[in-house]
A and B are shown apart, each in its own frame.
Chain A
């Protein structure tokens, strides 16, 4: 079938998902670290449209966009499936994955990049969207049920990233009292062997941010 390569950036929210999916299915791969400030010919060749990470290269064939890559991995290697079989259940998982990326992440990102009234609006939107996730995980061990699934990998780095934004921008996003079920899920998720040690912590992100700022 061909060897598998992952082009990623170690602290990227979206790249971890891909490595976790491959590990979850026991697929061997080569990881290639990309310097996003100085993009390689390899990245530009394999993702000429968006020039972004992650990119999965399977036997020289590239797949880009993390959610597209996750579906490709799940369809190509059928063991330990990430998505449910039932089309309606699958549609629900896809819906929530899109919600995480387009609503939760974007509103939190906007809140960290703005001030005043615009920041207030984004913060409200971010908190509302996180409350929705909190309700979604209530009473469940993982978003995928008894074991992790597609949505767990998608939500994955979010709590640590939110804590990083809180620390670096002085905003309130991930209150463990307001989001208790999401907080408990995060603790369970980070204990899983394939996740532990390969998930960027808030501290990793803070340190990187500080070093990156010094370099400028």
Chain B
């Protein structure tokens, strides 16, 4: 029986991008369904009744939501190609810890970055750069967080990249100026087809962020 895989997603979402990259890395044939998060479809509400959010991975009719949970699911089911998590249990724990760190910190601080001004924004910029520094130190000399190839943490973090440039634009700062090693890692990730093809166009993400600012009355 052939596998039926559907991804419910929203084009600028870093959480959705994570799954796009994983599916591409593992060469998993799937159907991509674009959701309008401002006008949610009956399918989304049926597949994720608890949170009503994307992304949702639907595998043979069974839905898995929450991006890091779906990422692990993909890794466990399609385990013959491009493993994202290492086999050593301690290294797996480290990967989960850092993915959780990205999840807890980056999106929330990032949101404060483009949605606020003045003192609040400055504090968010400082915290954001601090987090990047922590991640940079964790990366160390390795080409990727996963070692020689893209791993769980790489996929989790690189998915936010288009939004980093939005933060830099609205916050008027440069990640590269403070953390050049981090940007070198970004460039290595972007050389991978699974990453470059899964990220939306930068201009479109800027435009969407501008739309959100207007929508929430931030100007």
Which A residues contact B (CB, under 8 angstroms)? 49, 58, 61, 63-65, 67-69, 71-72, 75-76, 87-88, 90-91, 94-95, 98-99, 132
Contact = CB atoms under 8 A, between A and B. Distances in A.
Interface in B76-115: 76-77, 89-90, 92-94, 96-97, 100-101
Contact of B92 (A65, A72, A99): A72
B50 interface: yes
Nearest to A77: B89
B169 interface: no
Contact of B93 (A69, A90, A99): A69
B50 to A, nearest CB: 7
- Interface secondary structure of A, over-half rule: helix
Contacts of B76: 87, 90
A75 B94 CA distance: 13
Nearest to A47: B97
Contact of A94 (B59, B69, B77, B89): B69
Where chain B touches its partner, the secondary structure class is helix
B18 to A, nearest CB: 15
Contact of B69 (A68, A69, A76, A95): A95
Contacts of B62: 88
A132 B49 CA distance: 11
A132 B90 CA distance: 33
A189 to B, nearest CB: 23
Given A49-B134, A65-B100, A88-B59, A72 B93 contact: yes
A72 B89 contact: yes
Contact of A98 (B59, B64, B69, B73): B69
B84 to A, nearest CB: 14
A65 to B, nearest CB: 6
A87 B73 contact: yes
A94 B69 CA distance: 7
A88 B93 contact: no
A58 B96 contact: no
7 contacts: A49-B134, A61-B90, A64-B97, A68-B96, A71-B93, A75-B89, A91-B64
A67 B100 CA distance: 10
A68 B152 CA distance: 14
B72 interface: yes
A76 B76 CA distance: 17
Nearest to A48: B134
B10 to A, nearest CB: 19
A62 to B, nearest CB: 9
Contacts of B155: none
> Most chain-A CB neighbours within 10 Å: which of B62, B69, B93, B96?
B93
Among A68, A91, A99, max chain B CB count under 10 A is at A91
Nearest to B87: A75
B78 to A, nearest CB: 10
A65 B94 CA distance: 10
A88 B89 contact: no
Contacts of B90: 58, 61, 63, 72
Nearest to B99: A68
Contacts of B64: 88, 91, 95
Nearest to B64: A91
B96 A71 contact: yes
B65 interface: yes
B129 to A, nearest CB: 16
A99 B89 contact: no
